[in-house]
């Protein structure tokens, strides 16, 4: 029983980490689009 709980905790941690990395990717991509679009106007 204890081993099952530990494995489940590790899986949940991996899922949260993956979602966080995906969110960071969206933020970086948006920032790059804004930066390079502003750069093109100059």
The whole-angstrom separation of Cα 13 and Cα 24 is 17
Q: What is the pLDDT of residue 42?
A: 54
- 3-class secondary structure, 30: helix
Q: What is the pLDDT of residue 29?
A: 94
Q: Is 22 a residue whose pLDDT tops 70?
A: yes
Query: pTM higher than 0.85, yes or no?
Result: no
Mean pLDDT computed over 3-20? 88
């Amino acid at each position: 029983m204890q081993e099952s709980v530990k494995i489940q905790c590790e899986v949940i941690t991996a899922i949260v980490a993956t979602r966080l990395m995906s969110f960071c990717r969206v933020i970086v991509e948006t920032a790059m689009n804004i930066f390079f679009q502003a750069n093109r106007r100059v």
